[in-house]
Amino acid sequence: MNRVFRQLALLKRKNWIMTLAVIALTIIGVLFIYSASAASDDPRLRMLYKKQMIWLCPGLLAYISFSLIDYRSLRKLAWGGYLFCVALLVLVLFVGVEVNSAKRSIAIPGLRIQPSELAKIAVILLLARRLSRPGQNLGSVSSVFSVLALVAIPAVLIFVEPDLGTAMVFLPLMFIMMFASGVPYRVLGLLILAGMAIVALVLSIMFLPAKFDATDETQLAIMKAVGIGEYQRKRISVYLNPDSDPLYGGWNKRQSEIAIGSGGKFGKGFLEGTQNMLGYLPIYVAPTDFIFSVIAEEKGFLGSATILFLFAVIVVCGVMTALAAPDKLGRLLCVGVVAFIMSHALINIAMTVGLMPITGLPLPLLSYGGSFMVVTMATLGIVQSVHIRSKETGLTFEQGGLWQTG
Amino acid sequence: MQPVRLKAQLDDEHVRLRLFLIVSVALFVGLGGFIHNIQVHLEGKYAESERRQSIRRVRLPASRGRVLDRNGTVLAHDRPSYCIAIYIEELRRPRSSETFDAVEQVIDSIGDTLGIKRAITRSNIERHFKARRPIPLLAWKNIDDDVLARWAEHPAPWTGVDIVVESIRDNPLGSLSSHVIGYVGKTNDLSAPFDYFLPDVAGRQGIEAAFNDHLTGTNGWRILRVDVSGYTHNVEGEKVPIPGQDVVMTLDARIQAMAEAKLEGQRGACVVIDPQNGDVLAMATAPTFDLRTFRQASVYKSLREDKIGRPLVNRAIAGAYPPGSTFKPVVALAALINNVLTPDTQFLCTGTYRVGNRPIKCWLETGHGEIDMRKAIEQSCNSYFCELGMDCGYKRIYHVAEALGFGQKTNIDIAGESAGLLPDDAWKRRKTGAGWLGGDTANAAIGQGFLLATPIQMAVFAATVANGGYVYRPRLVARHRRGELINDMGWDSATIDIIQAGMKDVVQTHRGTAWRARIDGVTLAGKTGSAEYGPGNSKKYAWMLLYGPVESPRYAVSLIVEDGVSGGTTAAPLVRDLMEDIFDLDGTRKRPPPVEAQS
């Protein structure tokens, strides 16, 4: 018993500023999930905020547990977790629950799990382990390609679900971790060039045949040959030209922009957002991918700036922790988590204000969604774990944790 | 591995981390700046888009002003009409077909409870749902008092149902002066910036049309906020419509009713004017129609198909008839003011007057013998007036007739007026190719030939003789008490006296052609006319002009019956009956009317 209390005492050492930001965001999330679904006729939808509150419990549990576990012990689990996730990603393609012709989640009685969310944490772990291995030449071709392959396997599996947004978010995650681990700048530059070339190629496959008067059938056939779906092309074209399809593809984007813009400086007030309450912001996306639009409409620029500030606090705390981390593994874990949360936040918000195509990426800690919430809290717990064991706290390796590694 | 290398590597990684930190914070700040631009600088633009998609403007019609007679009797007004309205948004279901089912269920339930038949079909509901979703659906319009009472006994057992009041144009006196009042029709004025228009009307005929701007109020509006499905969410604002102004006519509903009663069963018209100012006291036309029922398809069809009676035509202003002998005083006036002869100059009537080798018969086949002007008017001698016309010349007659308003519209307040016809040489050449002949002058001098006049023109002429030479614009709505003088004829008293004396004799003497129009206690003056028309001149327009009392005339009347025997036989008794009623009404005749006029 005594030992357990000693371990819990470690929690006092954690980064309280980041914890406050995390708790503030989750509370704001619950409030605006309530607002986003308050106008619904469907009582189940109106109960979403309660479900989110219930999900907060395992989320907080994960946050505390992962901060208590010594992050160094996670090194051992990295490969196992990664393979487990890849197996789940393969499984979901066969037994996944089909929603809107996409199979993204596995139903276990009582709850649904999205393996792609688990894959994010697994990839962070494995990349941190792989890139922190001492005495390797990170600039070597074999090293770079092995890293690329590790990321590509889950990303491609997620892409074919299909879930373009989640698959794409692995790219900034990988790039930032490679950058932080010390991969030479020239390699990073080449990667960027290669990435841009691939994007250009994909876009030209999507749009060039049509420009040269190819029929729709040929266009679709060409796209199918390289594995691009019609709806993905549509999303991109709606992003490039939103008025081309204002009622269908462009609707969410346009209504989200109107909601945010009409919010003004201080917003229309809680539960007073007309875009939200009158259903112009569709009820099935408002509590999830478009929660930021609801906040920005009802609380105005004050609300938007608050959200951005809280995410920036998490990012700054995470990087500060990385700077103080006792070893490279801890450093890379922090960077991975920060990259993961930051890319989600920036891409999601940029998408709601019309800066990026609508890709269906949730906003961490705010959007409704159980498994994503638990995964996010767990990754933030890892950052705390590193913080607790960082140099400033002066904790020795031996005192380091509940489960000690050899 | 050397510790120095490790140190260098660590330093490099820390530099990268700081770089990453700076870039991250910059990204957040940049995104914040972009959002600041949208929310603070472009707020107006987005707020406008937000309003445009969720705000709907509904035009609320203003109630129309009333049309009143000179004593304040209501001739046309807006009557409240009670409608049962369904607010679809309160019955909404996830699927539109289920919503329609719910609406139909409620309608059936109301119908069963109140014992009324269903008035709208499912396709009406669907159409309303498509085009006018945010505004209530009227399931029953204009329900009667019984149904309203039964409704009140069932205090709102249905959701989404309420009574709304619309106003409908109503004419309490039905067919009285239908042609003058006119009627209203739905407008299609969709120019204003509204999304929905509640039914509004505009005048189509008569006073309703002529004074439409005056009668029409200022429309109000209601601003609704609709949700994404197009249902009303709430009312954002409302401006109450301002009712239109009343129009007070010069018409006297009681005299109008008398005039209409005299024409009952005839085809014809009757106009009563106040000679002192041109106020039209009555303007009757027969056959007529009932403003309350004529819209019904079957009624309207029969009205349209009656090609002889043509009940929709206002004969009093649109009917152009040959004036016959009622025109003779015009010829006499033209001769007198041009000093063609003196009133005492006598002509010989042999019963036939010859122009070239064409005979024109006097109605008295034996002839009137030697006859002067006053007698010629009293007897309506054709030979006298033919000769007078020939002596005077058509040009002079034309100028006087023109000054009296013949051949031109009187510019009475309502539309549909005919100018009649005052022919001249140029007109005849245009029409027939031949020039004006002496026979045309002789014909015109007795009111036949090409000459055409409307009953309103003849009433204005009677009024001008009555008041001694002032042509007033006949008016249905008076802006001032004083009449609107169009022309001062400038007749000297000797001239007008002889005409007035002749016209008094027409009524007041035994030999006068309108002795049948004489009434006890009031001295009247007038002139009859009988204009032949139809195949072989077998039919006659029976005219009668009249004014009185001669001492200070208050009424000038023109009356025409199509298909009469003669002015004296057909029109004069009708005018007499009318004048008796009028003088009883205004108290001029204190004694009870005699059983039968002296013969």
CATH no., domain B253-301+315-586: 3.40.710.10
Pinpoint the alpha helices (H) of B134-221: 145-153, 178-181, 206-210, 212-215
A257 to B46: CB separation less than 8 angstroms, yes or no: yes
Interface touch A342/B27, C-beta < 8 Å: yes
CA distances from A129 to A122, A144, A149, B40, B517 (A): 11, 14, 15, 45, 126
Q: What are residue B436's phi and psi, to 5 degrees?
A: -75, 130
Domain boundaries B57-248, corresponding CATH code: 3.90.1310.10
Residue B220, beta-bridge partner list: B60
Amino acid symbol at A29: G
Residues B258 and B281: beta-carbon distance below 8 Å: no
Tell me, what's the pLDDT at A1? 59
Q: With beta carbons less than 8 A apart as the criterion, state whether B324 and B315 touch.
A: no
Q: Where in chain B is the domain with CATH 3.40.710.10?
A: 253-301+315-586
Q: Select the residue of B9, B38, B45 nearest A353 (Cβ to Cβ).
A: B38
CB of A283 closer than 8 Å to CB of A40 = yes
> CB of B455 within 8 A of CB of B481?
no
Nearest to B14 among A179, A323, A353 (CB): A323
How is residue A42 annotated by DSSP? Answer: -
Tell me, yes or no, whether A309 lies in a domain. yes
User: Is A77 a member of any domain?
Assistant: yes
Find the CB nearest B228 among A261, A279, A328.
A279
Taking phi over 0 as left and psi of -120 to 50 as alpha, with beta for the rest, B420 belongs to left
**How many cross-chain Cβ pairs, A to B, lie less than 8 Å apart?**
125
Average pLDDT over residues A305-317: 96
Confidence of residue A285 (pLDDT cuts 50, 70, 90): confident
Q: How far is B240 from chain A (nearest CA, A)?
A: 26
DSSP string, A261-321: HHHTTT-S-TT--HHHHTTSS-TTTTTTTTHHHHHHHHHHHHHHHHHHHHHHHHHHHHHHH
Determine the residue of chain B that is closest to A267 in CA distance: B39
Integer Cα distance of A374 and A353 in angstroms: 27
Chain A residues with beta carbon closer than 8 angstroms to that of B40: 264-265, 301
* Domain presence at residue A371: yes
pLDDT at A247 over 70: no
Ranges of H-type helices in B289-353: 297-305, 315-318, 328-337
B558 or B111: which carries more pLDDT confidence? Answer: B558
A244 vs B372, which has greater pLDDT?
B372
For residue B385, pLDDT beyond 60: yes
- Collect all residues of chain B within an 8 Å Cβ-Cβ radius of residue A41: 94
CA distances from B11 to A131, A181, B7, B261 (A): 17, 12, 6, 116
Tell me which DSSP letter residue B170 carries. E
Sign for the pseudo-dihedral over CA of A291, A295, A298, A300: negative
Token pair in block for residue B360: 């024109």
Give the nearest partner residue to B24 out of A41, A328, A342, using CB atoms.
Answer: A342
Answer yes or no: are the C-beta atoms of A164 and A234 closer than 8 Å.
Answer: no
Give the chain B residue nearest A183 (alpha carbons). Answer: B13
Distance from CA of B80 to the nearest CA of A (A): 35
Coil, helix or strand at residue B510: coil
The reported pLDDT for the residue numbered B583 is 93
**Residue from the list B35, B42, B225 with its beta carbon closest to the beta carbon of A274:** B225
The region of weakest confidence among A323-327, B57-61, B530-534 is B57-61
Q: pLDDT tens-digit profile of A43-56?
A: 888 899 999 999 99
Both tokens of B370, joined, read: 């030697």
Q: Which residues of A touch B38 (CB under 8 A)?
A: 257, 260-261, 353
pLDDT at A81: 94
Task: Determine, yes or no, domain membership for A397.
Answer: no
CB pair distance less than 8 Å for A296 and B35: yes
Note whether residue A213 is domain-resident: yes
Give the closest of A279, A331, A355 to B227, CB-based: A279
Count of the separate structural domains present in chain A? 1
Mean pLDDT, rounded, for B253-260: 96
DSSP summary character for residue B61: P
Task: Quote the pTM value.
Answer: 0.68
pLDDT at B39 exceeding the cut of 60: yes
Alpha-carbon distance A91 to nearest alpha carbon in chain B (angstroms):
36
**B275 C-beta neighbours (distance < 10 Å), count:** 26
pLDDT at A398: 43
Given pLDDT bands bounded at 50, 70 and 90, which one contains residue B4? low
Domain assignment present for residue A5? The answer is: no
What does DSSP assign to residue B84? E
Amino acid at A243: D
For B546, phi then psi, to 5°, come to: -160, 145
pLDDT at residue number A106: 85
**Residue A324 placed within a domain:** yes
For residue A264, give the nearest of B12, B18, B43 by CB distance: B43
**Residues of A whose CB is below 8 A from B35:** 260, 296, 301, 304-305, 308, 349, 353
Per the CB < 8 Å rule, is A319 touching B21?
A: yes
Say yes or no for a CB contact (<8 Å) between B28 and A315: yes
Q: Is the pLDDT of residue B1 over 50?
A: no
Among chain B residues, CA nearest to A298: B39
Is it the case that residue A404 has pLDDT exceeding 50? no
Task: State in Å, rounded, how far the first CA of chain A is from the last one.
Answer: 23
In terms of residue numbers, what domain contains A71?
A: 12-392
Average pLDDT over residues A3-14: 74
The 10s digit of each residue's pLDDT in A195-210 is: 899 888 888 877 777 7
Which residues of chain B have a CB within 8 Å of the CB of A355?
Answer: 31, 34
> Which of A6 and A80 is assigned the larger pLDDT?
A80
- Which chain A residues are within 8 Å of B21, Cβ to Cβ? 315-316, 319
By three-state DSSP, how is residue B426 classified? helix
Query: How many Å apart are CA B59 and CA B222, to the nearest integer?
Result: 7
**What is the spatial distance between Cα B498 and Cα B490, in angstroms, rounded to a whole number?**
15
Helix (H, G, I), strand (E, B) or coil at B584: helix
Structure tokens at B181: 């009042």
Q: Which of A44-48, A359-363, B92-96, B250-254 has the highest mean pLDDT?
A: B250-254
What distance in Å separates residue B236's CA from the closest CA in chain A? 12
Residue B408, token pair as written in the block: 């031109």
CATH 3.90.1310.10 in chain B is located at 57-248
**Do residues A344 and A301 lie in contact, with contact meaning Cβ atoms separated by under 8 Å?**
no
Residue A404 lies in a domain: no
Q: List residues of B whose CB lies inside 8 A of any A CB.
A: 1, 9, 12-14, 16-18, 20-21, 24-25, 27-28, 31-32, 34-36, 38-40, 42-43, 45-47, 49-50, 53-54, 94, 225-229, 233
Residue-level pLDDT at B81: 86
Residue of B9, B35, B45 with shortest CB distance to A304? B35
